[in-house]
Amino acid sequence: MEEARRRDIYFSFFMFTADLRPNDAGYTEVLVRHLKALTEIGYTGFDVHIAPGPAHADHHAEVESYFSLRRAFDRAGFRDVKFTTNVGTTRSFDPTSPYEEQRRQALSYLKSRVDITSVLGGENTIMSGPFLYPYGVFPLTDDGEGIWSDALQDWMKPRYAAAASIFRELAQYSAEKRVKLAIEPVKNWETPGPTMVSEALDFLESADVPVCGLTIDTAQVVMESQGPAIFRNNVARAARQSRLNYVHISAPDRGAVRDSWIPWEIMLDEIEPVYSGPYLVEVFNAIPPFESSMRMTRRRFWRPGEDAPEMGVDSAYDVARAALRTLEEKIASHGRRSHS
């Protein structure tokens, strides 16, 4: 498995939390215990969600709190561990808003998230997530009815256009900070757009944002897909433009990766030859806020040190260990097939 070991494989802290609570020293100790266990399993880095905070948050104070968190990680022995971040925009911080003042507030928010990403991950790290259109916000007519299909596509066009200058400025700022941006398309029941890789690429091309890329997530592609042929075209298109900045390995049900419905050969045959960055194993545990926002019916993977062990239910570490082994085996298998 020499080929697999050379590849950085990260683990998402969506297994444990959607908020690092950087000002909570007690919770930092919980995070450190998880980091220790997962690095011992073999992960070389981690993806952490940066909670949005209130609408009138002091972004400077937020950034400073993550400096403290990073120092705590360093003191605990994780100075050389790599971190990427997951960031979403919100109804308050909306770069697609028709109102310039709100767009500028969104830019300030997104720059602060670039700063936090730089604090946690250093140079050449990645800020990924649904940070173009606000996550979970769906438009309504004046009568309170949902806007869908062709009408929704028409409604989104001026939104994308409004965000263009914001993203050009954000991309320039992130390049100066040595942080790679990776817009993540997510499912149509999570956001009205972008929901497909092609839509994110269309936005970046039309907005003329040369130093911004995207994330390909296996779960999103399977559930919100136009099929293998377009997937192949999109991977090649992203690679040609140097926009393939992150790849998430996630099961369609967002649970355990082992023995899941991931079309490994189709995906790795396209991704492996053109992508040299880290893979992220992303498992959403049935914890707040995911259990309600994603309407999870499966049982929670119990988190050692946080939940009581449960007979017949895998622990978070068991799921993480099996996922790493599975991904390493699939990468190694791809390498053998490509050289045979």
Question: How would DSSP label each residue in 164-214?
Answer: HHHHHHHHHHHHHTTEEEEE----TTT-SS--SHHHHHHHHHHTT-TT-EE
The whole-number pLDDT of residue 2 equals 41
Q: Which two tokens stand for residue 302?
A: 């119990």
Q: Give Cα 290 to chain centroid, integer Å.
A: 14
pLDDT at 302: 96
Span between the terminal Cα atoms of the chain, in Å: 16
Q: In sequence order, which residues have a C-beta less than 8 Å from that of residue 233 and are 6 or more positions away? A: none
Residue 55's pLDDT is what? Answer: 86
Strands (E), the chain: 9-12, 45-49, 82-86, 125-129, 179-183, 213-217, 244-249, 279-281
Please give the biggest Cα pair distance in the chain: 61
Mean pLDDT, the chain cut into blocks of 10 residues (340 residues total): 66 98 98 98 98 92 98 97 98 97 98 98 97 96 96 98 98 98 94 96 97 96 88 97 98 94 95 97 95 88 95 95 97 86
Phi then psi for 338, rounded to 5 degrees?
-70, -20
pLDDT number for residue 1: 39
CB neighbours of residue 3 within 10 Å: 16
For residue 294, the model assigns a pLDDT of 84
103, 162 Cβ separation under 8 angstroms: yes
The whole-model pTM stands at: 0.96
Helical packing angle, 264-271 and 228-240, nearest 10°: 20
Phi, psi of 126, rounded to the nearest 5 degrees: -130, 135
Structure confidence at residue 216 (pLDDT):
98
Amino acid identity, position 244: L
Res 3: pLDDT = 42
Q: Are 5 and 324 in contact (CB under 8 A)?
A: no
